[in-house]
Amino acid sequence: MKILKKVLLVLAALVGLILITALFVKKDMHAEKEITINKSKAEVYDYIKYLKNQNSYSKWATMDPNMRTGFRGTDATVGFVSSWESDKDDVGKGEQEIKAIKEGERIDYELRFMEPMESTATAYMITEPVGETQTKVKWGFNGKINYPFNIMRLFMNMEEMIGDDFQTGLNRLKTNLEK
């Protein structure tokens, strides 16, 4: 019985230490990647403004070929929603809504993750002319990992992981548009 008490005391102390440490770990996340595409700003923006087109270049859209998708509203307008549902935990279930559009320049999204863990984040895509036939595209993300799950930041570089996925998507976008 004494051994069991000691084991439980050690486990309680360990859990307490983890919870206290998590109080001091950053909760906010930001990732942004960019690429230059050899097409005019108008051509690039006219493609990325359609949320349905993300399915052809986003890494997440290709992670589960059996993923179920749905759409509500008029694509390329504020309020359009793209939803997904997968049996794979690394894809999960959620939806993305166009929240704001600055025509020809920027699209802002709200991401609502429902499974495997509930959270909300924002994302954006920005186009900037580099020349008449070149456009820089920036794809960014702002999110938060709630306490006590923010302790994972000590073991995983979430910004790098998300950034790598954005870069994969931007590389595919460049390939698609430059065909």
Residue 114 lies in a domain: yes
Residue 88 lies in a domain: yes
CATH number (domain holding residue 123): 3.30.530.20
pLDDT digits (tens, 9 = 90+) for 81-90: 999 999 998 8
Mean pLDDT for the stretch of residues 84-104: 94
Residue 6 lies in a domain: no
Residue 139 lies in a domain: yes
| Total domains present in the chain | 1
Residue 158 lies in a domain: yes
**Per-residue confidence band for 59, with pLDDT thresholds at 50, 70 and 90:** very high
pLDDT digits (tens, 9 = 90+) for 123-167: 999 999 998 999 999 999 999 888 888 888 888 888 888 889 999
Chain position carrying tokens 């998507």: 169
Q: What order do you get walking across the sheet with 68-72 strand by strand? A: 28-37, 134-144, 119-131, 106-115, 93-102, 81-85, 68-72
Give the pTM.
0.86
Q: How far apart (Å, rounded) are the C-alpha atoms in residues 80 and 67? A: 19
Residue 20 lies in a domain: no
Residue 2 lies in a domain: no
Residue 129 lies in a domain: yes
79, with CB counted inside 10 A (0-12, 13-18, 19+), is exposed
pLDDT digits (tens, 9 = 90+) for 10-26: 999 999 998 898 889 88
User: Is residue 113 scored above 90 in pLDDT?
Assistant: yes
Task: Give the range of the structural domain holding residue 78, as residue numbers without chain letter.
Answer: 27-177
List the structure tokens of 43. Answer: 């051509």
* Residues facing 156 on adjacent strands: none
